[in-house]
Structure 1
Amino acid sequence: MKQEGIYIGAEGKPAGYDIEYTPNQKQPLLVFCHGFNGFKDWGAFHLMAHYFAQNGFQFVKFNFSHNGTSPEHPMDFVDLEAFGNNNFEKEIYDIGAVLEQLKKEDFATCLDFEKVFLIGHSKGGATALAYSLAHQEIVSCATLAGVLDPLSRYGKVNDKQWKEKGVKYVVNGRTNQKMPMYYQLAENTQKIKEQLDIRNLLKADKRKFLFLQGAKDPAVPVTEVNLVKNLSNCTVAVFEEANHVFGASHPYESAELPNDLKEALSQILKFFQSL
């Protein structure tokens, strides 16, 4: 069964979520966090939801409140001002807001809030990890092409041009929109740098984590996993032919998961089931 809803995210901004779940069965909850320039309905994410829902998890995916979409336009970047003002602090808040909203809904009796797992893709991987590492009630977190050093990537407060102009732009290759990134992102990343010091936080954590990375990823280099591969509580798997989205695309027309993504989800499923 699938149901859509609205939660109130950072700064009171509404955003959409959806849940695919099995009614009348209390099962573990899996929450998925999309990445930069992403949204909950991108590409093959609906097939990901179905995969986990068919294998014993209630699956929730949501739009970050400041990802540039709106509840009325969940797949279009209609609010570039919000996009430019997004940051990790807001995204971490959003995860908590989604969980609180789910506890209020009619289907909450089907969700085992003592068995909550997170998956994050790309930049969403950093956010999912930061939330998990600050909330010991989360059983585990897995990342797909996860950003594991958000401080060096997004916290460049010494970027003189960015600071002087107050904004820099990234062109969305799919929509050709110039996506603003305001300097506040660098400032906020530094403001909460202790929460984003992922490697050191992982070293002090007793839970187990999974990191999946494509060797042919142009956005997050395969060397990113070097930060965690030697930590005893971290399992790393590199997919030699996988790109940043593990073979998916948007729009995604096939009814079947791409091979790399299917294998990645299979590994996540087995990992989470073992905990």
Structure 2
Amino acid sequence: MIQNKNFILQGASNQKFAIDIRYSDSNNSKGTIIFCHGFKGFKDWGCWQMIANYFVENGFAFLKLNFSHNGMGLDDSVEFTALDKFSTNTLNKEMEDIQSVEQFLLNEIPTILPIINTDKILIIGHSKGGVSALLYCTHYQTKIEKIATWASPFDFHRSWNSKFIDKWRTDGVQYIKNARTNQMMPLNLEVLEDMEANNEKYSLVNAGQKLQIPYLIIQGTNDAAVKMEEFNLLKKYFTKAKNHIITDANHVFGGSHPYLGAELPEHTKELVQVTKEFFL
């Protein structure tokens, strides 16, 4: 039977964030997967929970997190009520949150939930979460053994052109529209300044030379948010990575929020099966 436990951890800038762990009461022998959501994303979006169940049914434990500055309050699972935090989020902060999760798995879960196998830790990043996961695995001492990215950009900041940046500097803030909620989500000037100060650190060209663990890249051909050019750049600079293309899949592999289907979307079924085989 699938079990679920919720926890609150402390992450970047001493901010608290929510995680949940789904696991089997009989078999978690394949290891524990950390799942990192994307930009304007959250751990309870769409069919992420169904994906978690799929991996648990196949012998893994599955941990989902809300990044500490993703805009979610601790009590709100699907609404962005902490836009002040969203406005200061950076890749550095997301890496710090992943570190908090890994340390929790290594240092506390063996006592709290000894049934979970934390000897083997794996990580999945969707969209921007893929960038954060890749950077974490190249900048931190980690016991993570394999990484998979789903629809990850090669450069998260690629769309910040000179006109966008000039207005940002002038106004001190920029806004990104959330198509699902129609919220205008703010980005403070410190986010731009952080990107400029960490240009080399955030480079996936550099990360491609440093990554030491097996890596799987998955991309859909009908992704309006992350084009195939991004996938090709990941392949180019992560020369040892395995890759898989899902024909006609969009950025969320057929998912939606809310997702009301009884089964996973067809493209998502392919996504999780390929990832599972890579993690075994």
Q: TM-score, normalised by structure 1?
A: 0.92
Aligned match of 1:30: 33
Partner secondary structure for residue 119 of structure 1: strand
Partner secondary structure for residue 114 of structure 1: coil
Match of 1:137 among 143, 168, 186: 143
Does 18-27 or 242-251 show the bigger shift?
18-27
Task: Name the amino acid aligned to 1:34.
Answer: H
1:90-101 correspondence to structure 2 within 5 Å: 90-101=93-104
- Note closer, same or farther for the CA distance 1:4–1:31 as it changes in structure 2 (3 Å cut): same
Match of 2:42 among 33, 39, 49: 39
2:240 is the alignment partner of 1:233: yes
Q: Deviations over 1:22-79 (max 9, x none)?
A: 2465631100000011100000000110011111211000100111111111211001
Does 18-27 or 216-225 show the bigger shift?
18-27
- Note closer, same or farther for the CA distance 1:157–1:113 as it changes in structure 2 (3 Å cut): farther
Aligned match of 2:264: 257
Distance in structure 2 (CA, Å) of the matches to 1:206 and 1:148: 18
Match of 2:7 among 5, 8, 24: 5
CA contact (8 A) 1:119 1:144 kept: yes
Q: Deviations over 1:195-216 (max 9, x none)?
A: 3222332234342211111111
Deviation of the 1:248 alpha carbon: 0.1
Distance in structure 1 (CA, Å) of the matches to 2:190 and 2:134: 21
Aligned match of 1:123: 128
- Note closer, same or farther for the CA distance 1:41–1:14 as it changes in structure 2 (3 Å cut): same
Identity, % of aligned pairs?
36
Match of 2:181 among 162, 167, 175: 175
CA contact (8 A) 1:157 1:186 kept: no
Match of 1:58 among 48, 58, 61: 61
Distance in structure 2 (CA, Å) of the matches to 1:26 and 1:64: 25
Task: Name the amino acid aligned to 1:242.
Answer: A
Aligned match of 2:273: 266
Match of 1:18 among 17, 20, 25: 20
Does 22-31 or 58-67 show the bigger shift?
22-31
Aligned match of 2:72: 69
Distance in structure 1 (CA, Å) of the matches to 2:116 and 2:231: 32
Name structure 2 gaps, 5 residues minimum. Answer: none
Task: Name the amino acid aligned to 1:22.
Answer: S
- Note closer, same or farther for the CA distance 1:25–1:262 as it changes in structure 2 (3 Å cut): closer
Aligned match of 1:210: 216
CA contact (8 A) 2:148 2:217 kept: yes
Match of 1:245 among 241, 245, 252: 252
2:191 is the alignment partner of 1:188: no
Distance in structure 1 (CA, Å) of the matches to 2:55 and 2:201: 29
- Note closer, same or farther for the CA distance 1:143–1:154 as it changes in structure 2 (3 Å cut): farther
- Note closer, same or farther for the CA distance 1:112–1:190 as it changes in structure 2 (3 Å cut): farther
Distance in structure 2 (CA, Å) of the matches to 1:175 and 1:158: 22
CA contact (8 A) 1:151 1:190 kept: no
2:237 is the alignment partner of 1:224: no
Aligned match of 1:104: 108
Task: Name the amino acid aligned to 1:199.
Answer: V
Structural RMSD (CA) = 2.1
Task: Name the amino acid aligned to 2:128.
Answer: K
- Note closer, same or farther for the CA distance 1:204–1:78 as it changes in structure 2 (3 Å cut): closer
Distance in structure 2 (CA, Å) of the matches to 1:210 and 1:157: 35
CA contact (8 A) 1:35 1:124 kept: yes
CA contact (8 A) 1:34 1:124 kept: yes
Task: Name the amino acid aligned to 2:4.
Answer: K
CA contact (8 A) 1:40 1:63 kept: yes
Deviation of the 1:14 alpha carbon: 1.3
Name structure 1 gaps, 5 residues minimum. Answer: none
